[in-house]
Each structure stands twice: as structure tokens, then as C-alpha cells.
Structure 1
Amino acid sequence: MTPIHHPNRRTLLMQGCAAAALPLIAGRAAAQQRTFEPRVEAWRSFEITTTVNIAEAQGTTRIWLPVPSLETDYQRSLDNAWSGNAAVAQLLSDPARGARVLYAEFPAAVKQPALQLISRVQTRNRAVDWSRSAKVQEDPAVLRAALQPAELMPLDGIVRKTALDATRGAATDADKARALYRWVVANAHREPKVRGCGTGDIKTMLETGNLGGKCADLNAVFVGLCRSVGVPARDIYGLRLVPSAFGYRELGGNPANLKGAQHCRAEVFLKAHGWVAMDPADVLKVMRQETPEWIKDPAHPLVAPVAKGLFGSWEGNWLAYNDAHDVRLPHAAAKATLPFLMYPQGENAQGRFDELAPDSFKYTISAREVTA
């Protein structure tokens, strides 16, 4: 008989631990294997309620609440209703930029200004069919607007140089958009410490090499790079409403409390497909915040479906307010422009409120999906 050689105890323990670890590793991998494939489906109806309560008035108080302004193939605005103790309350718009607001004014005699806005909208998923193409028509004025610089989005200098380097060899507008999307995902990162959604100061980001930011920074970099090489693009400013249907915690909102749920997306106009959904910022958010570990590889099994899906599709769990840059608030005492409008705004005799501090402003936002 051939003698049997027993391994020592250390080897047995190591082999046993390795065998025991296999199911754990497999389980973790399975847990991170997800899909992210938004498809155009039925419309969903939502009711969004924004409530403002100012505890103590200081002179005249003015409030501006963003109102859904876009009518598209992925969103329909149904109606808006408001109540409160304002002396003046009216829907106003910025014709040059297309942003709408509910403007309310409270005289100094109103000691506790209160305002509530209820907006009803319908949304649905977006998804481009890359296998089909056709020559798409768009209003030339709309395309020209989507190629213009903004105060924090210049299109020359380092912006154009970066875009030209990133798109070297790209022949079509779709090739350029894909190259720039990949460049942002590969070179930028989500920085959780940035307040709110960031400011979108892309020139400073590129000049300093600090490409950390949030959605209004990261998608602005993508939009600016696209515009600088002749691909019409725009930021869309909005609000997450409900959880993602695909299980990604960071890609949804808590409808009972949408404090901090503001989110900017992006889209580009491609000659063979029209306006196409994009969101490299959310790819970077999943990489940085979906798990305790900062995932650095976009090919990671948790990230790859999102990186693929957000080049051409969106999930309809989100509300679009507007695509406006350099917004001027009507009747505001402070005449400076806002880089974008997706947060409630307010001011009184002491100055402008901090829109990124809803607990002291004070405002709340909630959403309810209407299924009847």
C-alpha cells in the first residue's frame, strides 16, 4: 500500500479557511452583480410638495421655488398649485433661459412667512436605440444655445485643449461624446465633502487638476468639453424622487424626505439619434459611495452596468426642473446670477438665505407616486 502523508495542522487550517472563504467571496461577488438597463416604459405620475416656513421675518421676505419647466419625451408637467400667506405669489419665467419659478413676496408685517408648492408631473425612463439611426431635426436656435459658454463654463483655453486631446481620432459626434464620457469617468471623481451639488466651475477644476466634485461639477465638465468641440450638450437640473428600481442606493431618493436629493444630469444632441441621455457623474457616485470601499475601476461588476447604461439612458425616478445656466431671480435684491437653479432660494433684509441649509432656511421637499 502507498503510505498516506498527512499535511501538518497549519496547512490543514489554511486549506480549511480557504475553502470556507470561497462561499463568502462568491456571495459578495453575486451581491455586486446587478443590472442597470432602463427601458422606455409606461409613464409614472408624481406629486412633489415643497414647503417653506420662515420662523422669524426680517423685513420683506422673498422666496423662489423652482418649477418643472421642460416638456419632453421623458417628462410632462401636469399642474402646479400653491398656498400660504404671501402678499404676492405668481409663476414667473426667464424667457432667455427657460427656467420657471414660483415667486412669493411677504411684507415685513408677515412675521412667519409660509409657502407650499405642489407640482404634479409624469416621468418615464429614457433609452436610446443605438442600432437605429436617422437624420434628426432640431430647432437651430436650440442647438446654438447648447453650444454657448456660460459664466463658469468657458469653451476655450484649457477646456478646448482637454477636449481636443480626449477626442483625438474620434470621427463622429457620437465618437466624441463617448470619448469625453469615458474621459470624465476615468479622470474625475466624486468628492462627498463638496457642499450641495457643487458649482460647475470647470475652468478652475481643469486648471488646478482637482477634478473632484459633485454632479453639477462633474456633468458640467462633460457638457463643457462636448460644447467646446462642437457637440451640442446641456445640463438638466432636477431632483431624485424615489428609489432606483435597480437596487442602487445612490441612484434614488427617499420620497418622504428629499432634502439633498437635487441632482443634475446631462444630455447631448447626436445627429443620428437626437437628444441622448448621459450621466457620468452618477457613474462616479456609484464608484465612490455605493459601497464603503471607493471603487476605482469602472469595469468593476457593480459599476460596469451603470457606466454602460448611463451612456444613453436614464431612469425615470427623477424630476427635471430646467436646463438653465446663469439664472437671474426676478425681483431679487441681489443682482448676481446663479450658476443654475434646482434649490429653493430666499432672501430678506439680512441678505440671501443659504439654499444648502434647508433646516435653517427652512424648507422640506417630499414626493408621492400617484398610482390611481
Structure 2
Amino acid sequence: MTLPRRQWLAACASLSLSPLATSALAQTPPPAQSRGFDPRPGAWRGTELITQLQVRDPRGRTVAWVPLPSVQADDWQRVDGHQWSGNARRVQLLSDGRYGARLLRAEFEPGTPEPTLRVTSQVWTRDRRTDWDAARPAPEAAQDLRTWLQPTELMPTDGIVRRTALQAVGSATNDRDKVQALYDWVVSRTYREPKVRGCGTGDVKTMLETENFGGKCGDINGLFVALCRAAGIPARDVYGIRTAPSAFGWRELGANPARLQAAQHCRAEVHLQAHGWVPMDPADVGKVMRQETPEWIRDPAHPFVQPVRRGLFGGWEGNWVAYNTAHDVKLPGSSGPALGFLMYPQVENDHGRYDPLDPDGVAYLIQSRALDPRA
């Protein structure tokens, strides 16, 4: 079904459609005083996530891939389903084949003047918080855990990565203390660099070799995950997108539901023997330090930062939808190189792959809509 041009333009006229557009929530600086951050499991939050894509200057055969929420977790995310429409001649619901990352592949007839695709997903999420006083082992097959100890193209676990990890954990002996040491090491040495495009590249080895620790979530949480793996602790990046403002009033930890093109965000999980998979997000600590106040807070021990620093070690807020945990993603049916991770819509034609961060090539609009509450 072809989307009417008038309907498409009406939906997008008020937006620049730039993936690099800043959130409308970034207009008013927050007060200087500290505020709380204490996410805890409670009611489920229903979200309808809508991605509308339009390919500019199509040449020959055009193919698009849209990441879909793929993570099913009984305690914090449930995906109800996906729908799509547009003027593609063929649409397939596919998986990357290794990590279970689901994506929609749409192929358009050569000569289609305005290839368009609209994808809608219904997802339920809620806050997470680890009860450190109550051991709740969540056994997982040893073979599955070994997956989350393996190196990837951008996250090696030997050489400088392993040396750094062992130095950072120091004399810590149990897995929780090791993770705490690595979390503190990353928070104290990395920093949010707003000039980095998108979510960064996640090139961990280069970060360590150059000692250039400025980046975004894909870089900083990627470094944390690589160090955990190198220290023998199963860990994984969780790639997704923010969908709503923070319930705790932190501007930089939320998003404007009407304009989510720049709201992609990577989080992390580590597997601890006494608690199973535990949420982490050192990158967002750095984001608060750099961007929440008019002045860059350079001290991670600053009182303003402490609620977030504590809260994101073992918790995260449910105003975010997880796409996948995949690395080195080979797009099904693509002739292009593998992606380090998959958070952005991807498009190729006979001349190669579009830059997903270039608004002159691919215009896309991502929005979210709250669904009726679920108990």
C-alpha cells in the first residue's frame, strides 16, 4: 500500500528529519540542585514505536532495513508485535541469525520515485532495579554465557583491553566487586563528547591506545562491556532508543516522543552469579556530567551526579525500548560490510549504502505514543 504523499508531508513538515536533530527537551537548563534517581520495578509502560522512512534520490534497486525491538525479558520488556505499510514490492521479517536481532527488510522496485516505509511496534517496558541484599541467582547455560565473553570486531578482549581490565579490577575477587571497579574506572576516565556523530563507533582498542576517552554511548558502554569480558565477566551491550521523558526530571535521560531521530541509546548488562543479568549504564553518567547543567561537571563524585551514578549501577529507567544485543551485524541480502551494531535504519541502492546519519540521503521520523496502562 502506498502512503499518500500529502499524509507523509503533513507528518513530517514541522521536522527537519535530521537524525542529528537535538531533542526538544534540551531547551531549558535544569536547576543546579541535585535531584533523585531511583528507578524501581512497578507498572508496565506501553509504547507504540513508529518509524517512518523516505529514501531521497533513489537509484536502481533500493533496499531498506529497519531494526525492530527484539529483546523479550519477562521482568522488563515484552514485545507484542509489529505492523508495516508503504510502497515496497517485498517486505520480510528477518533475523541476523546469531544474536536474534530482528529487522524488517523492504525492497523497492527500481524507478520508485519516493520509496517509503512505515513500521510500528508495540512494546511494554518497566524500570529495573537490582536488590543487592537479596541473592536471586538466575542460572543460564554455560554455553550461552560463553557467547557474552567472546571478542567482537570492535571489542577485543586481549592485549591492551585485558591489561587495562586486570589493572582496573585490582585486588577485587568476586564478580560484583570487579564490575564495580570497572564501572568506576569507566566513569572516572571517559567523558561525553557531543561532537561525536550518532552513538559513536565503539572502537574500544583505539580508545585505549590513543587514550582518547571522549565518545558517546556506543563507545563508553562498549568499553565497559569489553573490559568486563576481558576480566572474565559475561557482559553485553543492549542497543535501543529512548521513548519518553525521564520520570525523575533528568532532561538528558529522556526524550521527546514526537522527535526520536537522535534518541538512540546503548545500555549494558553484566551477568553476576548471585543476581543474573544486571543493568548498567556508565555512559549516561557521563552524559549527565557533560550536558545536564550549563557547566560541564568534571568530577564524577560531584553531589549533583551521585543519584545517577548510584542508580545506573544495577538499574535503569523504563523510558527506553531495547532493539537487540547484536554485534558485527551482516544485513540480510546486503552487499555492504557488517555493522558494528544496529540501532539506525539502513538503506542501500545500486551505488552502495547510504549514511544513516546524513539527512540528505535518508529522511526518517521516529515517534512514540503511550498505550493504555497494563497492570
Q: TM-score of the superposition, structure 1-length normalised?
A: 0.90
Residue aligning to 2:322: 320
Distance verdict in 2 for CA 1:53–1:135, change over 3 Å: closer
Residue aligning to 1:66: 67
1:164 corresponds, among 156, 163, 166, to 166
Residue aligning to 2:331: 329
Residue aligning to 1:17: none
Residue aligning to 2:101: 99
Where structure 2 has 5 or more consecutive residues not aligned to the other structure, the ranges are 1-28
- 1:352 matched to 2:337: no
* Higher RCO (C-alpha under 8 Å, 6+ residues apart): 2
- 1:34 and 1:301 in contact (8 A); partners too: no
Give how far 1:357 is off: 2.4
Residue aligning to 1:262: 264
Residue aligning to 1:339: 340
Q: TM-score of the superposition, structure 2-length normalised?
A: 0.90
Q: Computing the radius of gyration over CA atoms, which structure comes out larger, 1 or 2?
A: 1
Which residue identity lines up with residue 241 of structure 1 in the other structure?
T
Structure 1 residue ranges (4+ consecutive) displaced by more than 4 angstroms after TM superposition: 28-31
Residue aligning to 1:290: 292
2: CA distance, partners of 1:141 / 1:365: 37
- Secondary structure in 2 matching 1:45: strand
- 1:78 matched to 2:108: no
1: CA distance, partners of 2:214 / 2:113: 42
- 2:30 and 2:292 in contact (8 A); partners too: no
Give how far 1:136 is off: 2.8
Give how far 1:30 is off: 7.7
- Secondary structure in 1 matching 2:149: coil
2: CA distance, partners of 1:148 / 1:39: 31
Give how far 1:176 is off: 0.4
Moved more, 345-354 or 240-249: 345-354
1:247 corresponds, among 242, 249, 255, to 249
Moved more, 352-361 or 37-46: 352-361
Residue aligning to 1:23: none
- Secondary structure in 1 matching 2:289: helix
- 2:34 and 2:305 in contact (8 A); partners too: no
Higher helix share: 1
Which residue identity lines up with residue 41 of structure 1 in the other structure?
G
Residue aligning to 1:42: 43
- Secondary structure in 2 matching 1:135: coil
2: CA distance, partners of 1:71 / 1:86: 28
- 2:125 and 2:320 in contact (8 A); partners too: yes
| Matched length | 344
Which residue identity lines up with residue 104 of structure 2 in the other structure?
L
- 1:358 and 1:364 in contact (8 A); partners too: no
1:303 corresponds, among 302, 305, 309, to 305
Which residue identity lines up with residue 107 of structure 1 in the other structure?
E
Give how far 1:296 is off: 1.0
Which residue identity lines up with residue 58 of structure 1 in the other structure?
R
1:133 corresponds, among 110, 126, 135, to 135
1:222 corresponds, among 221, 224, 231, to 224
- 1:55 matched to 2:56: yes
Give how far 1:31 is off: 4.5
Residue aligning to 1:18: none
- 1:53 and 1:363 in contact (8 A); partners too: yes
2: CA distance, partners of 1:357 / 1:300: 37
Which residue identity lines up with residue 83 of structure 2 in the other structure?
A
- 2:31 and 2:293 in contact (8 A); partners too: no
Give how far 1:111 is off: 1.7
2: CA distance, partners of 1:30 / 1:110: 50
1: CA distance, partners of 2:100 / 2:31: 45
Residue aligning to 1:22: none
Where structure 1 has 5 or more consecutive residues not aligned to the other structure, the ranges are 1-27
